[in-house]
């Protein structure tokens, strides 16, 4: 039996954490699987992409489309045009996409129009919020894919309710947690926290980049006012996203930030590498975010997470984990932050199969697909 040629697509920062363990698991079967790593270049900032390949020990991409930035339509179109050429040249047996970024949807559509099978890792997540570009990407991707790998039972239920055939759905667990568990010990040995003068359990971290939070001056100002008050109790470390930095400067809100090397106030840093940020989050008293992946990581780390969004595609983190939805209202953020800071850390549960072996399960399914069992 000839090796199963698989193109594995990464496009943006979160994709790297999801793809790294899958590539590693594939490499354990060199006679059965021929993996090709393709980077669309959707994120091209050094700190937003290159450092992730280094931190996660991923091989350099075999192919880099280098599409760069642009509107959603421009970026999607560029990816489709370039990816079509790759598929025609490589003739893969399967394309694996992860997450919910533009690269995920664009490569799925392109492959399917060429008659190539597609597998989606992290399928079935739903926020029910069509104002989120990621929700549109998820829905388009899942309805087209041949194989859907899910992280929890809620995702399975979503797909079944949408009419997806049960035989296409595989509950494998969470590959983000594979990456976390592999690198947790390494991250714990970093000296960053000591360098910054931070004490375990006595600081918070913040990430924020979604348009709903950063593209409206009043909303962004309200969030920063809330965080500024929280920073009077615990220092807040804010590795600022380029988009957020740009909008804060445009709105004249830089006065909320401090770049001084002292653990007080809202302390701005450049975007951090995966290991550095994991190191900080492991020791945090509180994490505030509008990210999806951090909701999952904090659940496993047992760190309280305030998600500054009106909804989540990862409700399992609220049901079992340490995640609390607080929206973008200043008073609500403050209320929940004060409750967290004045209470013992929550005792959340880790969802089923978030055990560090999701990628192994995915590759086991791929081997069965190649042998004709699926």
Q: What total number of domains does the chain contain?
A: 2
**Domain assignment of residue 230, yes or no:** yes
User: 273: which 2 tokens?
Assistant: 């590498």
Q: For the chain (length 374 residues), average pLDDT per consecutive 10?
A: 91 90 97 96 61 77 90 94 98 98 97 98 97 96 98 98 98 98 96 93 95 95 95 93 91 81 72 93 97 96 97 96 97 97 88 98 95 81
Contact 98, 9 (CB under 8 A): yes
Domain match, 187 and 231 both: yes
Answer whether residue 347 is part of any domain. no
Classify residue 348: in a domain, yes or no.
no
Residue 18 CA to residue 297 CA, distance in Å, equals 12
- The pLDDT assigned to 263 comes to 47
Structure tokens at 16: 């790297």
Q: Compute the distance between CA of residue 206 and CA of residue 221 in angstroms, rounded to an integer.
A: 15
209 is known as an active-site residue: yes
User: Is 278 inside any structural domain?
Assistant: yes
Whether 59 and 157 share a structural domain: yes
Query: Is residue 328 located within the same domain as residue 192?
Result: yes
For residue 346, being part of any structural domain is answered with no
Same domain, 292 and 143: no
The pLDDT value given to residue 185? 96
One domain for residues 120 and 138 = yes
| Statement to judge: residues 215 and 322 lie in one domain | yes
The predicted pLDDT at position 190 comes to: 96
Both 50 and 168 in one domain: the answer is yes
What does the pLDDT read at residue 119? 98
Task: Determine, yes or no, domain membership for 35.
Answer: yes
> Is there a domain that residue 349 lies in?
no
Interatomic CA distance for residues 58 and 35, integer angstroms: 12
CA 271 to chain centre: 15
Residues 170 and 53 in one domain: yes
* Domain region containing 18: 4-174+354-370
C-alpha–C-alpha distance, residues 54 and 32, integer Å: 26
Q: How far apart are CA 192 and CA 4, in angstroms?
A: 42
- Asked if 151 and 260 sit in the same domain, the reply is no
CATH number of the structural domain spanning residue 280: 3.40.50.2000
Q: Are residues 152 and 192 in the same domain?
A: no
Length of the chain: 374
Single out the catalytic residue among 209, 241, 279, 336: 209
Termini Cα distance of the chain: 16
Q: Who's near 158: CB < 8 A, 6+ residues apart?
A: 124, 125, 126
Are the CB atoms for 43 and 11 separated by under 8 Å?
yes
**Per-residue confidence (pLDDT) for residue 43, from 0 to 100:** 63
Pair 49, 161 in one domain: yes
Token pair, residue 119, equals 């597998």
As a whole number of Å, the CA-based R_g of the chain is 20
């Amino acid at each position: 039996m000839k090796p199963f040629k698989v193109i594995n697509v990464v496009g943006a920062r979160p994709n790297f954490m999801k793809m790294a363990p899958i590539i590693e698991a594939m490499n354990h079967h060199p006679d059965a699987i021929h993996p090709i790593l393709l980077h669309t270049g959707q994120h091209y900032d050094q700190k937003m992409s290159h450092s992730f390949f280094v931190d996660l020990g991923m091989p350099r991409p075999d192919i880099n489309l280098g599409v760069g930035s642009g509107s959603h339509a421009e970026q999607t179109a560029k990816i489709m045009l370039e990816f079509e050429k790759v598929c025609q040249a490589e003739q893969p047996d399967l394309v694996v996409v992860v997450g919910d970024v533009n690269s995920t949807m664009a490569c799925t559509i392109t492959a399917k129009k060429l008659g190539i099978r597609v597998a989606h890792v992290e399928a079935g997540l739903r926020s029910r919020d069509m104002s989120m570009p990621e929700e549109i990407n998820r829905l388009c991707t899942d309805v087209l894919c041949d194989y859907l790998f899910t992280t929890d039972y809620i995702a399975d239920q979503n797909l079944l309710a949408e009419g997806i055939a049960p035989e296409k759905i595989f509950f494998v667990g969470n590959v983000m947690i594979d990456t976390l568990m592999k690198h947790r010990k390494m991250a714990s040995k970093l000296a960053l926290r000591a360098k910054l003068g931070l004490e375990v359990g006595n600081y918070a971290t913040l990430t924020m980049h979604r348009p709903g939070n950063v593209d409206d001056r009043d909303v962004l100002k309200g969030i920063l006012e809330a965080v500024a008050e929280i920073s009077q109790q615990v220092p807040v470390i804010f590795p600022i996203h380029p988009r957020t930095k740009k909008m804060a400067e445009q709105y004249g809100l830089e006065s909320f930030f401090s770049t001084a090397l002292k653990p007080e106030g809202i302390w701005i840093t450049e975007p951090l590498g995966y290991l550095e940020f994991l190191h900080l989050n492991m020791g945090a008293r509180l994490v505030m975010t509008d990210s999806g992946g951090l909701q999952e990581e904090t659940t496993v780390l047992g760190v309280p997470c305030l998600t500054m969004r009106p909804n989540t595609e990862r409700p399992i983190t609220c049901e079992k984990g340490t995640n609390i939805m607080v929206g973008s209202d200043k008073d609500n953020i403050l209320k929940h932050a004060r409750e967290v800071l004045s209470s013992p850390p929550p005792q959340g549960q880790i969802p089923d199969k978030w055990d560090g072996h999701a990628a192994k399960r995915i590759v086991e399914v791929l081997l069965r697909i190649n042998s004709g069992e699926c």
